[in-house]
A and B are shown apart, each in its own frame.
Chain A
Amino acid sequence: MKSSLIIFAFFLAGILTGLSGILPVAFDFDTYGNYALFVLMFLAGVSIGSDKQSWRVLTTHNYKIIWVPVTILVGTMAGSALVAFILPSLTLRESMAVGAGFGYYSLSSVFITQLHSHTLGVVALLSNIFREVATLLVTPLLVKYFGKLAGIASGGATAMDTTLPVISKYSGKEYAIVAVFSGIVLTILVPFLVTFILRA
């Protein structure tokens, strides 16, 4: 929650700076964008590779647990694909790319900005922040009506960190490890999936 406030503050400060007109020339994001994307991709890769916990969790022997991120992946893609049919302003690729952020708003919005457009990057930022905040708010209800995996499903990639406390509180501590596993798998998938959806 605190980190999403910091992220949003940086974004908002940028908007206000832009609106104020104190910048001498129009800022050209795209000139630097491609290099920035490569740097970001590389750093994201290093953080995935150097995280001991991710490799340990990924070699878990409980096969059931593997179905959790698979289910969340399929459900998220199906849900976001449906939006493209209801809202004519979004194409199937666009709505699925935003959904493929799984709540990991910082990385997904920056990737989508570089790979597609500024407008869709903003949609991704707001949509994925909303996914995290909604998870924090409605997990108690979701767990009550849809079972103990519901908070993990709603949280997506954030189930490994920001929404983990609320998940562990309402689904029980034994589900914390499931949440971390599922969150790590989805977090690793975000850059691959977003690139694949927009560029394949």
Chain B
Amino acid sequence: MIAILIVLSAGILVGLLLVSKPKLHNLNSQLLNGAIYLLLFLLGISVGTNQEIIRNLGKIGYEAISIAVASITGSVLLSGLLFKLLFKKK
């Protein structure tokens, strides 16, 4: 875990040096998008060749929706409280 956080922090420091270099900044976001697309394509391949995941796709979808609905509900309810306490104009 430490190695991952060091790499992430190193990236942030390098990013700080690039703040005034929009061209490199753009290149980085294209590289990041490309890396994400590639990795999701590869994730798709490993899912497609993984019988266990294909067989459990229904269960996976059910878990995914449950977590999303619970996350939204929890944060929306708390944000309603915060809104009443600090943001609502009386």
Q: Which A residues are within 8 Å of any B CB, using their own CB?
A: 6-7, 10-20, 23, 26-27, 29, 32, 36-52, 55, 64, 67-68, 71-72, 74-80, 82-83, 86-87, 89-90, 95, 98-99, 102, 106-107, 109-110, 113, 118-119, 121-128, 130-131, 134-135, 142, 145-150, 152-154, 156, 191-192, 195-196, 199-200
Q: Contact flags (1/0) for B54-90 with A, using CB distance below 8 Å?
A: 1010011111111111111111111111111011100
Q: Which of B1, B8, B71 contacts A42 (CB 8 A)?
A: B8
The answer to whether A39 touches B35, judged by C-beta atoms less than 8 angstroms apart, is: yes
Total B residues in contact with A, Cβ cutoff 8 Å:
72
Q: Which of B3, B19, B53, B83 contacts A147 (CB 8 A)?
A: B83
The answer to whether A71 touches B5, judged by C-beta atoms less than 8 angstroms apart, is: no
The answer to whether A90 touches B63, judged by C-beta atoms less than 8 angstroms apart, is: yes
Task: How many A-B residue pairs have C-beta atoms within 8 angstroms? Tell me.
Answer: 295
Quote the shortest CB–CB distance from A174 to chain B (angstroms). 10
Chain B: which residue is nearest A79 at the CB level? B74
Which of A75, A95, A156, A199 has the largest count of B CB atoms less than 10 A from its CB? A75
The answer to whether B79 touches A149, judged by C-beta atoms less than 8 angstroms apart, is: yes
- Given A41-B4, A199-B1, A149-B67 contact (CB < 8 Å): no
Quote the shortest CB–CB distance from B42 to chain A (angstroms). 6
- Given A18-B46, A36-B39, A75-B79, A119-B74 contact (CB < 8 Å): no
Chain B: which residue is nearest A42 at the CB level? B11
Residues of chain A contacted by B67 (CB below 8 angstroms): 80, 83, 90, 95, 98-99, 123, 127
Residues of chain A contacted by B14 (CB below 8 angstroms): 42, 45-46, 49
Residues of chain B contacted by A76 (CB below 8 angstroms): 71, 74-75
> How many Å lie between the Cα of A171 and that of B45 in the bound state?
41
